[in-house]
Amino acid sequence: MNLPVISLIPAPASLTTLPGSFSITPDTALTAPAGPAGRFLGALLRRATGFPVPAGPGGSIVLALSGDASLGREGHTLEITPSGVRLLAHTDEGLFRGVQTLRQLLPAEIEARSAQPGPWSVRCVRVEDRPRFEWRGAMLDVVRHFFDVATVKGFIDRIAAYKLNVLHLHLTDDQGWRLEVGSRPRLTSVGATTEVGGGAGGFFTQADYAEIVAYAAEHHLTVVPEFDMPGHTQAAMASYPELAPSWAVSERVAEPLAGLLVRDGVRQLYTGTEVGFSELAVDKDSTYEFLDDVLGEFAALSPGPYLHIGGDEALRTTPEDYARFMARAVPLVIAHGKTVVAWQEAAAAVLPPGSLLQYWRPTTEPVPEILRDTTGLRLIMSPADRTYLDLKYDETTPIGLTWAGTVGVRQSYEWEPTSVVPGAEIAGVEAALWTETITSADDIDFMIFPRLPGVAEVGWSAPGRDWAEYSRRLHAHQARWDSAGITSYHRSVEL
Ligand code: TNX
């Protein structure tokens, strides 16, 4: 029989091949605890095999919650023998990650959206697995170009397949405000009406956002919403002019940009791609009332423990103003019961122990002085020259930015998150997809495939990268994307 070659991404902690194979047939049943893992696997198998795959006791595929806490929250063991599949974990999340392994052991046709002929055979194996890092994220910028709920769900489908567990949504920026806020309706009625290039923009209603959060939870992904402050706030200021600082834009921003940002003293919507020109009024109490209301709604809508408050590229803000601002903004996050996440610039502020900083500067730059001592903080590693999937693959890539150079497939895979900021505690890694040049779901697929799986492996698998071995596995995944109907992935010459 023609059994698929094993090409797991991310590579598991341990894999042993056993003799023989197991086949899914019209008689196969699934025994699983109530929860996303069993639901996901049942739906996946039914869709591509066309078999009924009933759920109930006595199935030849068994997912079970073992009492063994030593597996960790996401750890699991998967044993496939000729008589069946047995997947054990301590939590449903662990089962869900293991289901992604079983999925990749099946023929690529398992990704098809309609019933295929099969056969549905897998090699017998024993896999013991758990992640290296607890934070394995992907960020989607829905501001520079807006992406609707269906596209975000598609993004969740893609990242969950590679065992990521965090969906970071960049929801606010100069070019738009993308989440409805009940107490500040102009943020969306005004602030969401455009995007980079002048398109119509758009926003998530609170019901839309709840749908995304629920879909993410169904894939054991935590949604981390980002309200970027005090910079990247032109859309908020265009919606509520009183949020703007008292200094005249022309004092700190050169023409012609300054002329686009203000007309008759009022902040305008912005559709360009410059960064670092906007800042909230740091000295007005009303700014913090605004933050309190908005952060309160973001927190209430987001069941996860984190709120991301940006903090990057506040380039027109003096260091004193930045520190004063963060000293008032950070406690609001805490008051709403959330842990602070912020871009690396926020290392200049006083952050409570346990806060997370997202490192984004390229690995080729020296570590900034403010990050020399990160005691009490944890770092999410997103160095631009490795994890910024909005950067071009090479000079010939039709879309994408190049401010940190180009990011080839190999470059996004061959790096070590713990050696960028020596001594820092590393929570994990996150791929970032900024969307200044990305305008469609096909563009998203073009930029994330084939680079995203490499960042996922850096986050999940033991250190020590072997490009030759990995690129063979990655090559095999193209058949899975083909089968899933993902047509626009980048046909990289590196594979
Ligand atoms: C830098 S990374 C930014 C974003 C841009 C991105 C483009 C960061 C914290 N800020 O505003 O979209 O580069 O690659």
Helix (H, G, I), strand (E, B) or coil at 357: strand
Interval 414-437 mean pLDDT: 97
Cβ of residue 313 lying under 6 Å from some atom of ligand 1: yes
Residue 193: CA atoms inside 13 Å, Cβ hemisphere, count?
10
Q: pLDDT tens for residues 110-156? A: 999 999 998 999 999 999 999 999 999 999 999 999 999 999 999 99
Residue nearest to atom 5 of ligand 1 (CA): 434
User: Where are any strands of DSSP class E within 171-280?
Assistant: 172-173, 176-177, 222-229, 262-263, 266-267
**Atom of ligand 1 lying closest to residue 232 CA:** 11
Q: How many Å apart are CA 381 and CA 361, to the nearest integer? A: 9
Supply the mean pLDDT for the chain. Answer: 97
Check if 343 has its Cβ closer than 6 Å to any atom of ligand 1.
yes
Model confidence pLDDT, tens digit, residues 77-89: 999 999 999 999 9
pTM (whole model) above 0.75:
yes
Instruction: Look at residue 137 and give its three-state secondary structure.
Output: strand
Report the separation in Å between the CA atom of 462 and the middle of ligand 1, taken as the mean of its atom positions. Answer: 29
What is the set of active-site residues? Answer: 313
Which atom of ligand 1 approaches the CA of 173 most closely? Answer: 11
Centre a 10 Å sphere on the Cβ of residue 392 and count the other Cβ atoms it contains: 18
How far apart (Å, rounded) are the C-alpha atoms in residues 439 and 210? 24
pLDDT per residue over 341-366, tens digit each? 999 999 999 999 999 999 999 999 99
Q: Which atom of ligand 1 is nearest to the CA of 313?
A: 10
pLDDT exceeds cutoff 80 at 4? no
Residue type, 101: T
End-to-end CA distance of the chain: 27
* 273 Cα–ligand 1 center, Å: 10
Report pLDDT digits (tens) over 203-220: 999 999 999 999 999 999
Which tens digits make up the pLDDT trace of 450-482?
999 999 999 999 999 999 999 999 999 999 999
Q: What is the pLDDT of residue 68?
A: 86
* Ligand 1 in reach of 424 Cβ (< 6 A): no
Ligand 1 neighbour 312 (Cβ under 6 A): yes
Q: What is the separation of C-alpha 221 from the centre of its chain, rounded to a whole number of angstroms?
A: 9
The CA–CA distances, whole Å, from 217 to 40, 114, 125, 166, 474 equal 12, 25, 29, 10, 27
Q: Whose CA is nearest to atom 10 of ligand 1?
A: 312
